Amino acid sequence: MLSVWYTWDMASERAGNDIVVEVRRALKRGLMIKPGSGLVVGVSGGPDSVALLHILHELKEQLGYWITVAHLDHGLRLDSAEDALFVREMGRKLGVPVNIERADVLSLAAGQGMSVEEAGRAARYALFEKVRLSSGAEATATAHHLDDSIETFFLRLLRGSTFRGLRGIPAMRDSIIRPLIRVERQQILGFLNERNLPFRIDPTNLNSDTDRNFIRNRLFPTMEERFPYFRVPLERTLEMIGAEDRYLDELARELSSRTLRREEDRVILDRVQLLAAPRVLAARVLVAALYETSGSVSRWTRAHVEMAFKIMRDPNPGASADLASGVVLRREYDNIILSTRREEETLADLSLAVTGPGRFEWPYGPMVLDFQLVERDIINDLSGLGADEALFDADEASFPLEIRCPRPGDRLRPWGMEGTRKLKNLLIDLKIPRRLRHGLPLLLKGDEILWIPGIRRGRAAGVTPATKKVLKARAIRHEVGRIE
Here the CATH number for the domain that contains residue 273 is: 3.30.465.60
Q: What is the pLDDT of residue 294?
A: 80
Cβ atoms of 151 and 230 closer than 8 Å: no
107 lies in the same domain as 53: yes
31 lies in the same domain as 51: yes
Cβ atoms of 145 and 184 closer than 8 Å: yes
Last residue of a domain, one of 283, 306, 340: 340
Is residue 483 included in any domain, yes or no? Answer: no
Is residue 345 included in any domain, yes or no? Answer: no
180 lies in the same domain as 279: no
CA end-to-end span of the chain:
34
Phi-psi region of 136 (alpha: psi -120 to 50; beta: other; left: phi over 0): left
Q: What is the pLDDT of residue 484?
A: 38
Q: What is the pLDDT of residue 366?
A: 67
Is residue 372 included in any domain, yes or no? Answer: yes
What CATH number did the domain enclosing 136 receive? 3.40.50.620
Q: How many domains does the chain have?
A: 3
What CATH number did the domain enclosing 403 receive? 3.50.40.10
13 lies in the same domain as 124: yes
Q: What is the pLDDT of residue 361?
A: 83
Q: Is 19 exposed, middle or buried (0-12, 13-18, 19+ CB in 10 A)?
A: buried
Long-range contacts of range 247-250, CB-CB < 8 Å, 24 or more positions apart? 248/163, 248/280, 248/281, 248/284, 249/284
303 lies in the same domain as 375: no
Q: What is the pLDDT of residue 297?
A: 59
434 lies in the same domain as 329: no
Q: What is the pLDDT of residue 17?
A: 61
Closest of 309, 310, 340, 344 to residue 323, by C-alpha: 340
Report the C-alpha gap between 364 and 341 in whole angstroms: 13
Structural domain that includes position 326:
242-340
Report the C-alpha gap between 262 and 257 in whole angstroms: 11
Cβ atoms of 182 and 42 closer than 8 Å: no
29 lies in the same domain as 98: yes
DSSP code of 399? S
Is residue 291 included in any domain, yes or no? Answer: yes
Q: Is 90 exposed, middle or buried (0-12, 13-18, 19+ CB in 10 A)?
A: buried
Last residue of a domain, one of 340, 372, 393: 340
310 lies in the same domain as 412: no
292 lies in the same domain as 441: no
Report the C-alpha gap between 435 and 470 in whole angstroms: 33
Record the pTM: 0.65
Is residue 357 included in any domain, yes or no? Answer: yes
Is residue 117 included in any domain, yes or no? Answer: yes
The H-or-E segment that residue 321 falls in is strand 320-322
Burial state string for 63-78 with b = 16 or more CB within 10 A and e = fewer than 16: bebebbbbbbbbbeee
List, run by run, the mean pLDDT of 10-residue segments along the chain (484 residues): 39 58 87 88 95 96 95 81 94 96 82 75 91 95 95 90 85 92 94 94 75 91 94 93 93 95 86 95 93 76 86 84 80 86 52 89 79 82 66 93 91 86 87 72 94 89 89 74 38
The maximal CA–CA distance of the chain, rounded, in angstroms, is: 69
193 lies in the same domain as 299: no
325 lies in the same domain as 359: no
172 lies in the same domain as 295: no
